[in-house]
Amino acid sequence: MKDISLVRILPQEPRVPFIKLRVIAAILSVIAVIASAVLFSTKGLNYGIDFTGGTVIEIGSVTQELDDAEIRSALKEMGYASATVQGIQPPEGSKTKEGVPIENRLIRIGLQLQDESGEEGQGAQQAALIKVKTELTTRIGDYFVRNTEVVGSQVSGELRKKGLMSVGLALFFVLAYIWFRFEWQFGMGAVLALAHDVVLTIGVFSLTGIEFNLTIIAAILTIVGYSLNDTVIVYDRIRENLRKFKRKPLGEVLNISINDTLSRTILTSVTTLLALVALYVLGGSALKGFSFAMIWGVFVGTYSSIFVASPLLMALKLKRGANTGGERADA
Amino acid sequence: MLFFSRSKIFMIFGAVFLGLLLAIPNVLSEEQRENMPGAFSRSINLGLDLQGGAHMLLEVDLSSILSQALVNERTGINDAFRRADDRPRTEFVRVDGNSILARMRSKEDADKALPLLQGLSQPIDPSQFGSSNTTKVSRESDRNLRVMITDENIEFIRKQTIEKSIGVLRRRIDPNGNLELTLAPEGDKRILLQVPGAQNIDDIKDRINKSANLSFHLVNEKDSTNEQAMSVAYETGRVAAGDTYFPFAEASGRRGGLIVTERTRITGDCLKNSSAGPHPESSGAIVNFSFNVACATEFGRMTARNINKRFAVVLDKEIVTAPNIRSAITGGSGYIEGGFTMESARDLSLLLNAGALPAKLTIVEERTVDPSLGADSIRAGKVASGIGLLGVAIFMWLSYGLRFGTIANLALSTNIILIAAALSLFGSTLTLPGIAGIILTIGMAVDANVLIFERIREETYNGKTPINAIETGYKLSMAPILDANITTMIAAITLYFVGSGPVRGFAVTLAIGIVMSVFTAVIFARLLTATWLRGKRPKTLPI
């Protein structure tokens, strides 16, 4: 056979005993899920202002260099003791008009429940923003504002609710679709695998303390989509092989199917990772959290389709013979 | 699977070519774009996070509007009773929660009052047949009558308030109409304001925060000169019935305040026009104004009756000035002085011309991005997609060889072009997360081709002939490809409907990317494969 592919990355018929590893994988997954839950309930997440409300200002220097300590003490004197100042990484290659690399600071001020005159309500964030902007000028001289985000308590509450709802709804619709296309065990297995991915993603965000904001919710939903992609492709092959090898035990059929799709699983993960790593390295602070979540999601999603979604079919006692539910779509 | 009719081939290449044409404007300069016809001159709409600008969510204080409506209703009821020929006697008429309670002296008084109250209830929109009435009157007991504002009327008031606020905001922020503002209702009580480009955001916020409620009130000279009444009013706000206390504005240079009559017919709605001008006597500035005819008459009457008294010009609950009436002012025009500078006078006349905001607006969310940050994000996005694209392309060549690698990469680049075309054609907005979505699509788009090629490999390995292997490969890959993409689509659609702002932008690019990647991998790449097969008729597959 004439083969001009430069690299034959994977053997044509890999026979990795995935299903034999399922006990180890189950222990690993259970530990990871419990650890994530514990982390989430003890350490919690570093929520961004989308979910907590508050103010974030990105400022850049005009003439002199910005002094973090000076900004911090100025904020403290204004009465924002919990405000934080940190340097940020701008998108790759950002330069000021003078051609100097940008070294900006991000100032975060927590949610203000009332303004200076003690008036409660939605206007308090704006009042704090104006105060910080004017008083900072007298303390550190000229600076310019590159980015401002102010989210009131009501809006942040709504965003939090919407974020939770979107993940919940997505999982529900997916369950419904897979149920419709396969047996119920497949739907259950896929959704449990997805929940596993979501929990582990939340766990890793809790562990690293990376800011958890609206774009992370988007990333989680994309992870859901990606992991599902993987799971559905393995499931599809399982369904096909169940018909093909009527006499083989379920575990063996599962293993053959995972191995059949293994090269595809790895190739797609690699191409997706290639794109995501480029984004992670070059995208700057604004996209760092998002691409980190996605990179993590590619690993977890691939792992879960092989070690969670498929063995779950055994645990859920998928019945042989009744495995042709749903019709095939031949386009 | 490998047979394509001539018309199908024509359609597929036609779609790709059209996509290419639609995507071209994005790499042209603005000047070149203008010379392109219609749909082919559109480029991708950049979100505020990429082009810079301000995004604000403003909340309208509807409760104050509704309580004002109740107060007006009460005034109307009292007027109706007073004007009636056979006047019903009341014990009290007061606002009671969300309705008005009128307690009459006797059952007979209530009998007389009931038709009067019912007469006050008018259709909300007289031009519309079957329109609901403004109020609903019910008799609670012999002497108690309750007037409620109907839900339909509350809804009408809500809509009108939002609509009017949007109109006023537009005239205030963009009096010349060249800022390309977005102003739209969002939900029940909010207004979305988007100002693209580099603008002075603090100025805009100033204009949002001022309600510019102007009114002229007669001063209650007796109480305003009574020291005790004034100190009670200053400390507790308590004044005689029908009066109210306003403090002097800081710019007026006066301290304290005045007690004035609460009701007035001369309000900002009376203004026909206003403009800034130099002060005739001092170095400051004034705001000239002229009333419409009805108010000019009313103002003339009011001033004629109150010569040698003062009237207070009140702006947003602060007295700007309180001049003495020397003679009746019948011309319907005049000026306001109040320690203005030329600039503050100009600002005030702009606000007055734009009209008063019907209710207070609060900025509940603000996201402002400097255009330089947006430009940096776009550039970084371009570099990241370029590197991602290159990496994926090289990887595909390494994995599937020159022939099939090229087919996959052609499909991938067509995919990117089609995404750009769709974004331009639909005028969807590209946001920073949207760029992330495109880069993610680059990685995931090859998935369908990988699936197909792996399957072809497998079939070849099982000893099928090239045509047979390719045929089976495409056929068997169809179900998993569709299942996989439909489920991802479900996530994207959920994201679109539940998400907001930039996240929506991400959902749009993700969804478009899914559709386009199925088209390019399943249809376009299959056509390329079939064309190559027919031309070469290979004995073995280079895969």
CA angle, residues A45, A48, A50, in degrees to nearest 5: 125
Same domain flag for A212 and A305: yes
H or E segment and range at residue B275: strand B271-278
Q: Which of B2, B58, B59, B444 to mutate to test the interface with A (most CBs of A within 10 A)?
A: B444
Q: Does B450 touch chain A (CB under 8 A)?
A: yes
Highest mean predicted confidence (pLDDT) among B8-17, B262-271, B332-341 = B8-17
Same domain flag for A163 and A262: yes
Query: In whole angstroms, what is the distance from residue B456 CA to residue B529 CA?
Result: 12
In-domain check, residue A1: no
In-domain check, residue A265: yes
In-domain check, residue A119: yes
Q: Does A314 touch chain B (CB under 8 A)?
A: no
Residue in B with minimal Cα distance to A267 = B450
In-domain check, residue A322: no
Distance from CA of B508 to the nearest CA of A (A): 12
Residue A180 has pLDDT above 90, yes or no: no
Query: What letters, b where the CB count within 10 A reaches 16 and e where it falls short, cover B452-476?
Result: bbbbbbbbbeeebebeebbbbbbbb
Residue numbers in B near A281 (CB within 8 A):
384
A250-286 confidence digits (pLDDT tens)? 888 999 999 988 888 888 888 889 888 888 888 777 7
In-domain check, residue A10: no
Residue A38 has pLDDT above 90, yes or no: yes
Residue type, B21: L
Nearest to B443 among A221, A274, A284 (CB): A274
Same domain flag for A132 and A36: no
Nearest to A162 among B369, B399, B500 (CB): B500
Same domain flag for A193 and A285: yes
**φ, ψ for residue A107 (rounded to 5)?**
-105, 125
Mean pLDDT of B39-43: 74
Same domain flag for A23 and A117: no
Same domain flag for A183 and A212: yes
Same domain flag for A66 and A41: no
Residue type, B432: L
Same domain flag for A135 and A205: no
In-domain check, residue A324: no
**Which residues are paired to A87 by β-bridges?**
A105
In-domain check, residue A116: yes
Residue numbers in B near A291 (CB within 8 A):
436
Within 8 A by CB and 6+ apart from A327, the residues are none
B447 with A268: Cβ contact below 8 A: yes
Instruction: Using DSSP, state whether B60 is helix, strand or coil.
Output: strand
| DSSP letters for B119-156 | HH--BSSTTSTTPPBSEEEEE-SSSEEEEEE-HHHHHH
Residue in A with minimal Cα distance to B483 = A232
Residue numbers in A near B507 (CB within 8 A):
218
pLDDT at A329: 38
Query: In whole angstroms, what is the distance from residue B207 CA to residue B199 CA?
Result: 13
Q: Does B463 touch chain A (CB under 8 A)?
A: no
Residue A326 has pLDDT above 70, yes or no: no
Q: Where does the pLDDT of residue B39 fall: very low under 50, low under 70, confident under 90, or very high at 90 and above? A: low
Distance from CA of A145 to the nearest CA of B (A): 7
- Determine which of A71-75, A119-123, A311-315, B18-22 has the lowest per-residue pLDDT on average: A119-123
Query: In whole angstroms, what is the distance from residue B409 CA to residue B302 CA?
Result: 82
In-domain check, residue A106: yes
Within 8 A by CB and 6+ apart from A105, the residues are A58, A59, A60, A66, A68, A71, A85, A86, A87, A88
The owner of tokens 């495995």 is A323
Query: In whole angstroms, what is the distance from residue B120 CA to residue B137 CA?
Result: 10
B370 with A260: Cβ contact below 8 A: no
Mean pLDDT of B452-474: 87
Same domain flag for A135 and A263: no
B366 with A145: Cβ contact below 8 A: no
Nearest to B506 among A154, A218, A286 (CB): A218
B366 with A217: Cβ contact below 8 A: no
H or E segment and range at residue B94: strand B90-96
Nearest to A276 among B443, B479, B495 (CB): B443
| B397-to-A4, B417, B529 alpha-carbon distances in Å | 10, 20, 15
Highest mean predicted confidence (pLDDT) among A292-306, B168-182, B378-392, B502-516 = A292-306
Q: Does B200 touch chain A (CB under 8 A)?
A: no
Residue numbers in A near B439 (CB within 8 A):
275-276, 278-279
Highest mean predicted confidence (pLDDT) among A11-15, A321-325, B183-187 = B183-187
Q: Return the CA Rg of chain B.
A: 35
Nearest to A264, CA basis, from B244, B484, B24, B406 = B484
Q: Does A173 touch chain B (CB under 8 A)?
A: yes
Q: Does B379 touch chain A (CB under 8 A)?
A: yes
Average pLDDT, chain A: 83
Query: In whole angstroms, what is the distance from residue B259 CA to residue B230 CA?
Result: 7
Distance from CA of A103 to the nearest CA of B (A): 12
In the listed set A99, A133, A151, which residue is the last one of a domain according to the structure?
A: A151
Distance of CA B450 to the CA centre of its chain: 44
Query: The domain that contains A89 carries what CATH number?
Result: 3.30.70.3400
Same domain flag for A86 and A179: no
Same domain flag for A24 and A66: no
Query: In whole angstroms, what is the distance from residue B307 CA to residue B327 CA?
Result: 6
Q: Where does the pLDDT of residue A328 fall: very low under 50, low under 70, confident under 90, or very high at 90 and above? A: very low
Query: In whole angstroms, what is the distance from residue B543 CA to residue B411 CA?
Result: 17
Write a three-state SS string for B25-55. Answer: HHHCCHHHHHCCCHHHHCCCEECHHHHCEEE
Q: Against a cut of 0.80, is the pTM above it?
A: no
Torsional sign, CA A16, A22, A24, A30: positive
Residue in B with minimal Cα distance to A238 = B480
A283 with B498: Cβ contact below 8 A: no
pLDDT at B543: 67
Q: Torsion over CA of B224, B227, B229 and B231, rounded to 10 degrees?
A: 110
Percent of all residues in chain B with a pLDDT value above 70, rounded to a whole number:
99
Range of the domain at A250: 19-47+156-315
Same domain flag for A227 and A300: yes
B385 with A278: Cβ contact below 8 A: yes
In the listed set A151, A177, A212, which residue is the last one of a domain according to the structure?
A: A151
Distance from CA of B397 to the nearest CA of A (A): 8
Residue in A with minimal Cα distance to B481 = A233
HSE of B434, CA atoms in CB hemisphere, 13 A: 24
A303-318 confidence digits (pLDDT tens)? 999 999 999 998 888 8
B480 with A237: Cβ contact below 8 A: yes
Q: What is the value of ipTM here, to two decimals?
A: 0.80
Domain count, chain A: 2
Neighbours of B381 (CB within 10 A): 25
Residue B64 has pLDDT above 60, yes or no: yes
Q: Does B462 touch chain A (CB under 8 A)?
A: no
Write down all domains in chain B, each with its CATH number in brackets. Answer: 6-51+373-536 (1.20.1640.10), 63-155 (3.40.109), 215-337 (3.30.1360.200)
Burial class (CB in 10 A: 0-12, 13-18, 19+), B535: exposed
Q: Which residues of chain A from 51 to 90 reach within 8 Å of chain B, CB to CB?
A: 58, 90
Q: Does B442 touch chain A (CB under 8 A)?
A: yes
Within 8 A by CB and 6+ apart from B325, the residues are B303, B306, B307, B308, B309, B310, B311
In the listed set A124, A151, A178, which residue is the last one of a domain according to the structure?
A: A151
Percent of all residues in chain B with a pLDDT value above 90, rounded to a whole number:
9
Residue numbers in A near B391 (CB within 8 A):
271, 274-275, 278
| B318-to-B217, B243, B349 alpha-carbon distances in Å | 12, 15, 16
Residue numbers in B near A174 (CB within 8 A):
487, 490-491
Mean pLDDT of B423-444: 82
A210-219 confidence digits (pLDDT tens)? 999 888 888 8
